[in-house]
Structure formats: structure tokens, C-alpha cells
Structure 1
Amino acid sequence: MISPVFVIGDVHGQIDQLEAALERIERDDCAGAPVVYVGDYIDRGPDSRAVIETLMRGQAAGKPWTCLLGNHDDYMVRFLGPNPDLPSDGSRTRWFLPKIGGLETLASYGVDVRASESNTAIREKALRNIPQDHVDWLAGLPRVYETPDYIFAHAGIRPGIPLDHQDPEDLIWIRGDFLDDPRDHGRLVVHGHTAIDMPEHCGNRVNVDGGAGFGRPLYPVLLLGRDAFLLDPLGRVRLLPRT
């Protein structure tokens, strides 16, 4: 018997989009099935704090939600952890680059960053404003989740490497070596990380990052065995495997 699973791609601080995606899931005939989130809850969008709070509340309430760590989430964990890796030349940490979006995440927690402030000064303010349980929640997220039918990871997997020997950094960062590999991985690999116009079924993998971090809709995806369905405002749309 096929067990349905919903998947939500990279949210990137878009709380309105997340709420809309969850409403579409609730309207589907498989509502109540597990939901897997593939990471990147923060950065770029306007309300990363609300996204994290929504996910934490849902899990605390017993919802069947599995949340994976994304590379953007890891930026925050590393910056606020006990041994932050800050540039020695005084330049801003990579997390604050405009294309990354860390400053938007800090703003959602009420951290006002001035151009003249050092990384250390910004970090001290962030530690005062960001609840420790948010940091701990992110730090405790797994990088991979597997079922008999699927392997879920934020970025993907290193092809040909057993799952228990995967490099943890590959699971949140890999692109070309995974995306360009046509081989079957035994189970369908479901991932985000690489933004495209909308979720796509590639035969051996499903990319659920439809680019919400760049202003595009956050489409939830329903998995039924090897079949995948986009949930749009009118219902299910089958994602045909790309040939």
C-alpha cells in the first residue's frame, strides 16, 4: 500500500506562502499524512521568525512534521553558535551578503544592523534578540530523512555513496554532481536548495524548490510512490517525469 507524503520546499521567510501551502494540504484528500520540510526556513523573505515559530509550534502540537536542516539555516546556527567562524579581516560574514539574506532574518527578530557595526557587535545583538530555543531547534534538525520509498535531503545526495557514508555538507550544499547524474538512486530522492520556476519531477529525483525565496509561489508537493503532484489553488496537478 502506498503511503502519501507531503513535501514543502524552501520557505525563505515567506510566512504567508507557508500558511497558503498548509491550507492547500488541509484541503487535499490525503490531509493528515506526514509533511516533510526540506529546509531553508530563513533568509531573504520578511518573516523568518514567524516561519520558525510556526514549525516549532506544529511539531510541539504533535503534527506529523519532519523538518530538515538547510544550508541557510546552518548559516544562522554557525553565526550564533559558541565558536562562530567570522572573517579575520573584518569583512562582513557571508551570511550577510545580499544574495544570502541573513540581514532580513535578523530584522525579523528586531535586530537593527548599522553599516559600521562589526560582526561581533551584530552577533551580540542577535544573541540578545533571538530566542535560544530557536537556535537550538535549528541546530538539532537532521540533514537526511528516509522512508522505504524516499530519501529526503535539503540539497540531495552524493550519487553512488551509501546513505550512512554521505558527507553532511553534501546533504545541504551539493548541486551539479547530484543534479546532473541520471542514475536511479534506489529510492526517489526529494530535495530543494536549487531554485527553479516550480517543482519538477526528474525521474530519479524531485526538486521541490520552486523559488519562494525569489518571490515565486511556495507549492506543496504530494508524493504517492513514484508519482508526484503539485498542489495549486485548484487542486492536484501531476508532475510528469522529465525525459
Structure 2
Amino acid sequence: MFFFRQPRSEQKRPEPRIPDGIKLYVIGDVHGRDDLLDTLCGAIDKDLAGTPSEHVSIVFLGDYIDRGPRSAEVVERIVSGATPAPVMALRGNHEAILLQFLEDENVLDSWRRYGAMETLLSYGVDLKEVLRGRNFDIAQAELREKLPLAHLRFFEDTKLSWSLGDYFFCHAGCRPNVPLARQQEGDLLWIREEFLGFSGSWDKVIVHGHTPAPEPEELPQRINLDTGAYATGRLTCLVLEGATRRFLST
């Protein structure tokens, strides 16, 4: 009797999965839209009531702040525990810039062009001189004074990446042909074209945000959850349980 084995290149790979008994809710870029996060948390509450799991976590992919009007409220919701489950918080490039600004006021010259003003306003910083392109040091000092210590610790404690089962979570993406354990901070926070155009694969499915798309992008090697919430009103969440995937959105 002869047995024919399918060539390795044609063998179907097992479906990616996370360990049994765990449910993950993975949320894309919030960008100051606490109203949408509130709605999404309500949807997660309802979803949990229907299918309870032993261990439930919410993974945020970063970019809590900037562009939308309620950055401080988004962070306060998370640090105060006003979410339906414990949180794993990853860092986005916008949080990295805020931390840089606290050390170097000159960072504001570029940061103010893509969202800093909304964040500073949400923390009660006076913007009159900043709008004129001056007195960045005063704005820096005012943010240092008005930023709650719990919020600062939150920003400082965010992680660059996290992994569970067959999934790897980060903000922007990964450098092709570099092992996941050796990915660099700059790529995890900022990469775009090299990552998005890569048709190969890693050892795990990359779940990321950073680059807005009209719909969540679900590809064999990556899943993009940034649906441009601050502009579109659509905040997207990926639900992972065992080998199943589904989406919730506002």
C-alpha cells in the first residue's frame, strides 16, 4: 500500500489560535475618541454576558491620544479600571512622542501638526502661544504639572509588543525577515510600507494598527485594526477565542 504525502508547500497550515479558556478583545487606535470607546466597552460587556470565559483580557494596540477631543478621558478610563476586563496596554507612536515632549520641548514643533493640540487641550494646557509657534517650554511645564501621575505611569509602562498563542501584537507592524524576538522599537511603533507590502509570513499572525483602513484588514500574515476612529467614528475590536476570530465595532 502506498501513501502519498502532500508536498510541504501545499500542506494546509493549522488555524492560528490562542490557548483554551482565554478570550481576548483587541482594540485598535482610539485617538481620543472616548465616546466610541465607551460604546465599544458596552458591546464587550454584552458579548461577555453571552459567552463567559475563564480568563478575559482587553489588549489595546496603542495611540490612545491625539486627534480626537478626549485623550485624557480615554487614559483615565483605562487607568481607573473602567473597562469590562483587565487591560494589556501597548505603546503607540503618539504616546512615544508625548514622552519625548516631556523631556524635550522642541518635539512639539512637529507633534502639534498631527494631534498634540487636542491632547494638550484635554489636559487643560493653555494653547494661545503654542498656536503661534512659540513658548513650547511653557506648554511642556504646564503639561508636566497637569498630567496626573497615574497617566504618566501608564504611558511609561506601555509595552512595545506582546504575544499569546499564534498571535503577536504591536502598534505599527514588524520588519520583514527579522525574527519577532529581535524587532526594534522604531519599527514596532512606526513601520508602514515595508511591512504592509510584505507578502511573506512570520511565526505568528501580526495584529496591529497605525495605518487607517476603511475596514479591518484580515490577511494570512497580519490583521489591521485601525479603522480611523477619530475621523470615521468606527472603532474596531478583534475578538479571539481558541481558533475563532470575529469583530466588534462602533
Give the TM-score range, shorter chain: 0.7 to 0.9
Q: Do 1:153 and 1:189's aligned partners in 2 also have CA atoms closer than 8 Å?
A: yes
SS in 2 for 1:34: strand
Kindly indicate whether the alpha-carbon contact (under 8 Å) linking 2:25 and 2:57 is maintained by their aligned counterparts in 1.
Answer: yes
Aligned to 1:64: 86
Task: Give runs of aligned pairs for residues 182-201 of structure 1, distance below 5 A.
Answer: 182-201=199-218
CA offset digits 1:19-73 (Å, max 9, x no partner): 11111111113456211100000001111001001111128x9942101000011
3-state DSSP class of the match of 1:6? strand
- Structure 1 unaligned spans of 5+: 234-243
Q: Does 1:104 align with 2:118?
A: yes
Distance 1:194 1:110 in 2: 29
Partner of 2:25: 6
CA–CA distance in structure 2, aligned partners of residues 224 and 126 of structure 1? 40
**Structure 1 residues 94 and 30, CA gap change in structure 2 (3 angstroms):** farther
Counterpart check, 1:75 vs 2:97: yes
2:66 matched residue in structure 1:
43
Scaled by the length of structure 2, what TM-score is found? 0.83
Match of 2:142 in 1: 125
Give SS of 1:112's match. coil
SS at match of 1:4: strand
RMSD (Å), alpha carbons:
2.1
Distance 1:16 1:62, change over 3 A: closer
The answer on whether the counterparts of 1:149 and 1:225 sit within 8 Å (CA) in structure 2 is no
Q: Deviations over 1:183-221 (max 9, x none)?
A: 121211100000111212012111000110223311222
Equivalent residues of 1:14, 1:47 under 8 A apart: yes
More helix by share: 2
The one-letter code matched in structure 1 to 2:174 is I
Between 1:186-195 and 1:25-34, the stretch displaced more is 25-34
Question: How far apart are 1:134 and its partner, in Å?
Answer: 1.2
CA displacement at 1:149 relative to structure 2: 1.7
| One-letter amino acid of the structure 2 residue matched with residue 158 of structure 1 | R
Change (3 A) 1:224 1:62: closer
| 2:9 counterpart residue number | none
Which of 204, 208, 212 in structure 1 is aligned with 2:221? 204
Deviation at 1:140, TM superposition (A): 1.6
Contact 1:150 1:187 in 2 (8 A): yes
> Which residue in the other structure is 1:93 paired with?
109
Give the residue type in structure 2 aligned to 1:176: E
Task: Give 1:95 shift.
Answer: 0.8
Amino acid paired to 1:44: R
Contact 1:25 1:220 in 2 (8 A): no
Distance 1:147 1:6, change over 3 A: same
Q: Which residue of 2 aligns with 1:168?
A: 185
Superposed CA deviations along residues 51-109 of structure 1, whole A, max 9, x for unmatched, are 001111128x994210100001111111113xx1626xxxx521101xx1101000001
Deviates more, 1:24-33 or 1:190-199: 24-33
Higher gyration radius (CA) = 2
What is the one-letter code of the residue matched to 1:69? R
